[in-house]
Amino acid sequence: MENKYVEVKAYPTIGIILLGGVSDNNNRLPLHTTAGIAYTGLNDDIYVKTKLYVSDQEKGFINGKEVYANSDRSPFTVIDKYKNDVLLRAGCPDKNLSFKSENFNVLSGSSDAGAAAIGECIESIFEYNINIFTFENDLQKISESAGRSMYGGLTINHANGKESLTDGILEAGYFRDYVIVGCHFSDKRKPSDDIHKNIVNHPDYKTRVKNSELKSKELEKLANAHNIKKIFELAEGDSEEYHKMLNEVGVHIITPEMQVFINKVREMKKDFWNSYIVTGGTNVFVVVDSVNKEKIGDEAVNFNARPVYLKVAGKPEVLSKNF
């Protein structure tokens, strides 16, 4: 029974001020303030599509694989909280809710998009008559950085492990003259929980928490000035600090192949402006003026990486709905 449904497209994300440390495995509230952007392909062909629908039995599928209510970070932790009210609005109080979610060409940050897509499905049914503060915290049980995808563009998540709320600070359109070249090295990646569990043990972690708050204030100033290059330069500095700390606690994200490529990207700065970011996966994201995107893409191929050209994306979109 899928005649009552809503289908949403949401966009994955990249960190600008990177997150390391969450409150616990269930609530997953960030321990410090972070920032990020939503992204898609230049032809809008990178996204997560999710369908929430009324059904006889509760079923969930991510990329064709069944997901159960008791799975770690299961979307049912949010769906079941709002299920009764949704079914009443659908006029089917004795039925269940199911979902299907599929990733299209996502390099990194798919869980943020998946969480935001579930959120937009539910919000669209409630017609935004919902407490956004508690709702974002619900979605963080699926993905700790869900707010980045919920708002699109550039966002800051103000957090301290007990409270968390995301603000959109610069819309996607302001980034239109820039391209992010996602240089994909491998599908192997460390689980994010490895990062969260280990980085908090670094002797300078408290300093990073404090500095993340200071960086967020600087980011707000740069966003107000529409200073895109300085925003990404701040991101590069944060990425370097983050991975230095991870290396020192035994979590090695940047492979030797990635590091050689990063060194080349740094050399190329003398010829044209660029800035790079490495989050928790095996991608090096290099930001350039759009006219220089092929220079990075060609170099990525020389280092056996697959280049994908990206742009900053906006909020989730309702594709179709019958509720």
Instruction: Give the model confidence (pLDDT) of 176-232 as tens digits.
Output: 999 999 999 987 777 888 999 999 999 999 999 999 999 999 999 999 999 999 999
Residues 6+ apart with CB under 8 A from 298: none
| Predicted pLDDT of residue 130 | 75
Q: What is the DSSP string of 203-249?
A: TTHHHHHHHHHHHHHHHHHHHHTT-HHHHHHHHHHHHHHHHHHHHHT
Take residue 1 and report the two structure tokens written for it.
């029974």
On whether the CB atoms of residues 50 and 60 are closer than 8 A, the answer is no
pLDDT in tens, 9-49: 999 999 999 999 999 989 999 999 999 999 999 999 999 99
What percent of the chain is modeled with pLDDT above 70? 98
**Structure confidence at residue 128 as a pLDDT band (50, 70, 90):** low
Interval 141-160 mean pLDDT = 96
> Averaged over 294-323, what is the pLDDT?
97
Question: Comparing C-alpha atoms, which of 241, 237, 284, 239 is closest to residue 260?
Answer: 284
Query: Over 60: is that where the pLDDT of 1 sits?
Result: no
pTM: 0.95
Which token pair is 312? 């900053």
Both tokens of 318, joined, read 């309702």
Query: Angle 110-126/76-90 helices, nearest 10 degrees?
Result: 20
- Rg (Cα) of the chain, in Å, rounded? 20
Tokens (6 digits) for 149: 């995808």
Residue with token string 């619900």: 138
Rounded Cα distance, 167 and 155, in Å? 6
Q: Are 221 and 230 spatial neighbours (Cβ–Cβ below 8 Å)?
A: no
Q: From CA 226, how far away is CA 220, in angstroms rounded? A: 10
Q: Give the pLDDT score at 52.
A: 98
> Is the pLDDT score of 282 beyond 90?
yes
Q: Are 268 and 295 in contact (CB under 8 A)?
A: yes
Q: How high is the pLDDT of residue 218?
A: 98
pLDDT digits (tens, 9 = 90+) for 172-184: 999 999 999 999 9
**DSSP structure string for 159-192:** E-SS-EEEEEEE-GGGGTTEEEEEEE--S----H
pLDDT in tens, 236-280: 999 999 999 999 999 999 999 999 999 999 999 999 999 999 999
Q: Who has greater pLDDT, 312 or 108?
A: 312
